[in-house]
Amino acid sequence: MNISIIGTGYVGLVSGVGLAQKGHDVICIDKDRGKVDSINSAVPPIFERGLEPILGRLVDDDKLTATTDTVEAVKKTDITFICVGTPSSSDGSIDTSFLESATKDLSQGLIGKKSYHVVCVKSTVVPGTTENIVLPILEDAGLELGKDFGLGMNPEFLREGVALDDFMMPDRIVIGGGDQKTKEILAKVYEGFDSPIMLTAIKSAEMIKYASNSLLATKISYANEISRMCEKVGIDVYEVMDGVGMDHRINRDFLDAGVGFGGSCFPKDLKALVNFSRSIGINPRILESVIKVNERQPIHAVNLLEDMVGRLSGKKIAILGLAFKGETDDVRESRAIPMARELLRRGAKIVGYDPKASDNFLKEVENMEFADSVEDALTGSEGCIIQTDWDEFKSLTEPDFLVMRTPNVLDGRRVLDSDDFSQVRYRTIGR
């Protein structure tokens, strides 16, 4: 099938590459000429494991191209997926301005188009957005639903760092459609995928994404809440969660205690769902608590480190990992941001290191230094917080930390083993 995708961020580009791998002809659309040129040169504008060589092959085979011309791309294709950002507004609600702009642009490509075209939202939007915002824009352009176009919603469930694997081997594919014809066309897009396909209403598809992310975030905050108790009474929270996770009704995934969750999805989606819930007269107490627990975890990590090294003022502290997780350069809502700000507030001198995300972190926190390697970050420091689970950090051994002035290590992601240390003072959250 001929598919156009508006937006070349993590969702849009990964989706485009995944669909092109399955044999579809894909045109990626972005207003940023630099991103478009980069994609057409087979250089991903984002870092995602395994993406570059596959993109190169698809570009060479003319299965995937990129353009800034939305109208022309839509005219050449049968389906358009909207994959633009829906960032948080100041009150936690989603900002739909990018979605509205993309819809207006694509509507111009549909005017005069003789063939039926499916417009499918992939961006994360609260229930009612597709039908209350996207649909009226298309209709205002003189287009008729069911005749000129079909309307759908196909949420993504991608984890940055392993997004391509998640797209190619999803647990499920959720397709929301306003009519049976649209559902059948979108289902055909995914015929080559060995995954169950759920066909549902548009609003249900929108809510499934929020409900899924909120539940996963709840599991993380729950584990962090239990970890506080474990720290007080001498129990290892990971051992506790291993036992809890053996229950098939619960599952072990997302029960690791640590410095909290970040990224472009969980924090934003929780705030949006809280705002949406309040707007319809419901007090979302559980979700509000999940957010509060997550906000205090980075501060809790700083408190634990201060217990180890003493008063932080004037001391050099290394933060290993600036992205919100390993295997990505994305620093959105990274727990390193509030952590660094709290360390600075207490007078510490911070040096940060990340294999991929240092450049993106530069604009997030002022008055901190950046190292080119783990060794440079650790040398002369009096404390260290491991904030992400990069493989590079998992391979660290005791001699690596002995370049520190005082080797105090707080492992915020449980990437190392305390049994491996005799000269390093090592501590993890939840133990």
- Give a yes or no: residue 257 inside a domain: no
Q: Which domain holds residue 6?
A: 2-200
Residues 30 and 110 in one domain: yes
Per-residue confidence (pLDDT) for residue 429, from 0 to 100 = 95
Residues 173 and 297 in one domain: no
Per-residue confidence (pLDDT) for residue 22, from 0 to 100 = 96
Residues 148 and 296 in one domain: no
Query: Among 157, 177, 200, where does a domain finish?
Result: 200
Q: Is 400 helix (H, G, I), strand (E, B) or coil?
A: helix
Give me the active site residues, please: 265
Query: Among 146, 167, 200, where does a domain finish?
Result: 200
Query: Among 151, 179, 200, where does a domain finish?
Result: 200
Q: What is the DSSP string of 220-278?
A: HHHHHHHHHHHHHHT--HHHHHHHHHTSTTT-STT---SS---SSSHHHHHHHHHHHHH
Upper half-sphere CA count for residue 15 (Cβ side, 13 Å): 30
* Paired strand residues for 2: 25
From first CA to last CA, the distance across the chain in angstroms is: 53
Identify which of 18, 14, 20, 15 has the alpha carbon closest to the alpha carbon of residue 47. Answer: 14
Mind listing the pLDDT tens digit for each residue in 389-403?
999 999 999 999 999
Residues 164 and 272 in one domain: no
Residues 184 and 272 in one domain: no
Give the separation between CA 51 and CA 161, rounded to whole angstroms: 10
Q: What is the DSSP string of 88-146?
A: B-TTS-B--HHHHHHHHHHHHHHTT--S-EEEEE-S---TTHIIIIIHHHHHHTT--BT
Each residue's pLDDT expressed in tens, for the chain with a length of 431 residues:
999 999 999 999 999 999 999 999 999 999 999 999 999 999 999 988 899 999 999 999 999 999 999 999 999 999 999 999 999 999 999 999 999 999 999 999 999 998 999 999 999 999 999 999 999 999 999 999 999 999 999 999 999 889 999 999 999 999 999 999 999 999 999 998 999 999 999 999 999 999 999 999 999 999 999 999 999 999 999 999 999 999 999 999 999 999 999 998 999 999 999 999 999 999 999 999 999 999 999 999 999 999 999 999 999 999 999 999 998 999 999 999 999 999 999 999 999 999 999 999 999 998 999 999 999 999 999 999 999 999 999 999 999 999 999 999 999 999 998 888 999 999 999 99
- Give a yes or no: residue 224 inside a domain: no
Identify which of 60, 24, 21 has the alpha carbon closest to the alpha carbon of residue 39. Answer: 60
Per-residue confidence (pLDDT) for residue 419, from 0 to 100 = 84
Query: CATH number for the domain including 185?
Result: 3.40.50.720
Query: Is 228 buried (19+), middle (13-18) or exposed (0-12) by CB count in 10 A?
Result: middle
- Give a yes or no: residue 247 inside a domain: no
SS (H, E, C) 279-321: HCCCCCHHHHHHHHHHHHHHHHHHHHHHHHHCCCCCCEEEEEC
Identify which of 36, 214, 331 has the alpha carbon closest to the alpha carbon of residue 12. Answer: 36
The answer, as to whether pTM is greater than 0.85, is: yes
Which amino acid is located at 294 in the chain?
N
- Give a yes or no: residue 252 inside a domain: no
Give the separation between CA 181 and CA 88, rounded to whole angstroms: 33
- Give a yes or no: residue 72 inside a domain: yes
Number of folded domains that form the chain: 2
Give the separation between CA 270 and CA 262, rounded to whole angstroms: 11
How is residue 412 written in tokens? 């915020």
Per-residue confidence (pLDDT) for residue 151, from 0 to 100 = 98
Residues 277 and 172 in one domain: no
Per-residue confidence (pLDDT) for residue 343, from 0 to 100 = 98
Mind listing the pLDDT tens digit for each residue in 214-250?
999 999 999 999 999 999 999 999 999 999 999 999 9
- Give a yes or no: residue 251 inside a domain: no
- Give a yes or no: residue 167 inside a domain: yes
Per-residue confidence (pLDDT) for residue 420, from 0 to 100 = 86
Q: Is 361 helix (H, G, I), strand (E, B) or coil?
A: helix
Per-residue confidence (pLDDT) for residue 183, from 0 to 100 = 97
Which amino acid is located at 326 in the chain?
G
- Give a yes or no: residue 348 inside a domain: yes
Q: Are 328 and 389 in contact (CB under 8 A)?
A: no
